[in-house]
Amino acid sequence: MKKVFVNGYGSIGSRITAFLKDDPEIEVIGIGKYSPDEKVTFATSKGLNVYAPEKKLHDFKNFKISGSIESALDECDLVIDASPGGYGFKNKKTLYEPRNLMVIYQGGETIVGDQAVSDLLFNSRANYDLSFGKKHVMQGSCNVTGMGRILEPLRDRFGDEIIRFDVTLVRRWADIEQTEKKVEDTIEMTEKPHHGDDVKTYFGKDVPLFVRAIKVPTRQMHLHIMDIRFKNSAPKPSELHSLFSKEFGVATLWTAKGTKDVRDFADTMRFNFTDTNMIHIHANMTTSIEDTVQMMYSDDQTGIVIPENHMLMQSMLFGKSYQEAFSYTESLFHMKEKKQKLEEYFAILG
Ligand SMILES: NC(=O)c1ccc[n+]([C@@H]2O[C@H](COP(=O)([O-])OP(=O)(O)OC[C@H]3O[C@@H](n4cnc5c(N)ncnc54)[C@H](OP(=O)(O)O)[C@@H]3O)[C@@H](O)[C@H]2O)c1
């Protein structure tokens, strides 16, 4: 059994931990907390050992904690860093590299420039095998992971027939549990979004992919609006949808009016954290006009990267093949079943 420490217990860290607790190959030795708040009590009530930074131990005197993060790191085989964007790099320098630890970082980090945490941005659909033997790997962000689930199958099927991808990312303002974050009543424009460049690290730097992004006042998922331009006539929507029928982590829905409908259904089905862990093609919005397919899909911002982290962890810790890791992740996340339930519920009314 391998020992894993999850450093950070916010939207992503708490989800990863919840799944790892059900994984018999893994012992979660603890989680790292930086603020002495009610989430410490929540975590201990879930049976988790909570650790705090050595320098802050005094601030946690009214909570039941198990020791310092530094001491926990000395005991573990792999760290999943789930800190706020940019802190992963700082942790790498101060905590992980000095201990020669294996680490997975999240999408708020970068793999370019002097703050790079790794030379690999992981996307299981695109580059699983490249993670073998690596010590430091970054999991792509939710938008970057979601785009890969659409782009890779399209390229596999249509290749050079596609001459351009244009994507507008409509990003959520905050996560459902981030109640302390106010959702501003504005539409914010993102200058030079990183998402296109991140996708190109696995999709190819010269791919004609053009991405722009805005942020809107919602907590209910991201929505990607994508136009795919073909050399000749574009395929019919039905041909496009059938391409995704067997894809992992992609559900094709017809009757969801908005992103909240999807989360509400996930809630009634008691999926963990109301996550679907996937993207959802809103098939009623797909059109094919002359040389262009227009499509929209929503991206479960908090859930989508959790099975990806699990796949990556298996490659790094156990060197499992893609197929072995995929089957094992499926046995814990039940993605096939979730996809089927979503597709049945949001099917075309007969
Ligand atoms: N939220 C999403 O939908 C989403 C999706 C994909 C990827 N990501 C990426 O995942 C990462 C984490 O995002 P999040 O949304 O989970 O953030 P979050 O909800 O704000 O949680 C961040 C956590 O990190 C802890 N923390 C603070 N300082 C830290 C440090 N120096 N080292 C380690 N942990 C520290 C915080 O602890 P305290 O609360 O105790 O202060 C908190 O538990 C980011 O890189 C983000 O870009 C987020």
Q: Give the pLDDT confidence of 269-291 residue by residue, as tens digits.
A: 888 889 999 999 999 999 999 99
As a whole number, mean pLDDT of residues 172-185 equals 94
Whether 84 and 190 map to the same domain: the answer is no
**Rounded-to-5 percentages of helix, strand, coil across the chain:** 40, 25, 35
Tell me, yes or no, whether 148 lies in a domain.
yes
> What is the tens place of the pLDDT at every residue in 128-140?
999 999 999 999 9
Say whether both 133 and 168 belong to one domain: no
What secondary structure, in 3-state letters, does 60-123 show?
HCCCCCCEEHHHHHCCCCEEEECCCCCHHHHHHHHHHHHHCCEEEECCCCCCCHHHCCCCCEEC
59 and 123 part of one domain: yes
Which residue among 29, 65, 142, 211 is the active-site one?
142
Contact by Cβ (8 Å): 13, 106: no
Mean pLDDT of 24-30: 97
Label residues 214-232 b or e (16+ Cβ within 10 Å = b): ebeebbbbbbbebbbebee
Instruction: Kindly tell me if the per-residue pLDDT of 350 is higher than 70.
Output: no
Query: Would you say 86 and 104 are in contact if contact means Cβ atoms under 8 Å apart?
Result: no
| 110 and 158 part of one domain | no
Name which of 20-29, 219-228, 267-276, 283-292 the model is least confident about: 267-276
Residue 47 and residue 179 in one domain: no
Which domain covers residue 287, as residue numbers?
Answer: 142-303+335-345
Q: Is the CB of 36 under 6 A from ligand 1?
A: no
In a domain, 10, yes or no: yes
Please give the single-letter amino acid code of residue 54.
Answer: E
Residues 220 and 88 in one domain: no
Residue 84 domain flag: yes
Catalytic residue status for 76: no
Which among 20, 1, 28, 11 has a CA at the least distance from the CA of 309?
A: 20
Residues 35 and 105 occupy one common structural domain: yes
Res 349: pLDDT: 74
CATH of the domain at 197: 3.30.360.10
Nearest Cα to 226, choosing from 292, 286, 171, 296?
Answer: 296
Residue 17 lies in a domain: yes
Is the same domain home to 153 and 265? yes
pLDDT tens for 147-166 read 999 999 999 999 999 999 99
Half-sphere exposure of 116 (CA within 13 A, CB side): 11
Going from the Cα of 83 to the center of ligand 1, the distance in angstroms, rounded, reads: 4
For residue 178, give the ligand 1 atom closest to its CA.
19
Cα–Cα distance list, 281 to 20, 150, 163, 176, 181 (Å): 28, 9, 21, 21, 28
14 confidence band (pLDDT: 50, 70, 90): very high
Residue 299 has pLDDT above 90, yes or no: yes
User: Residue 350: inside a domain, yes or no?
Assistant: no
Q: How many CB atoms lie within 10 A of CB 339?
A: 23
CATH number of domain containing 136 = 3.40.50.720
**Are residues 297 and 317 located together in one domain of the fold?**
no
C-alpha of residue 12 to centroid of ligand 1, in Å: 7
Count structural domains, the chain.
2
Percentage, residues of the chain above pLDDT 70: 100
Does 193 share its domain with 340? yes
Average pLDDT of span 99-126: 97
For residue 348, what pLDDT is reported? 86
- Output the CA 85–ligand 1 centroid distance in Å: 7
**Cα torsion 75, 76, 82, 87: sign:** positive
Q: Which atom of ligand 1 is nearest to the CA of 139?
A: 7
Q: Are 299 and 146 in contact (CB under 8 A)?
A: yes
Are 70 and 179 part of one and the same domain?
no
Same-domain status, 111 and 168:
no
- The mean per-residue pLDDT over the stretch 174-192 comes to 94
pLDDT of 272: 86
User: Residue whose CA is closest, atom 3 of ligand 1?
Assistant: 302
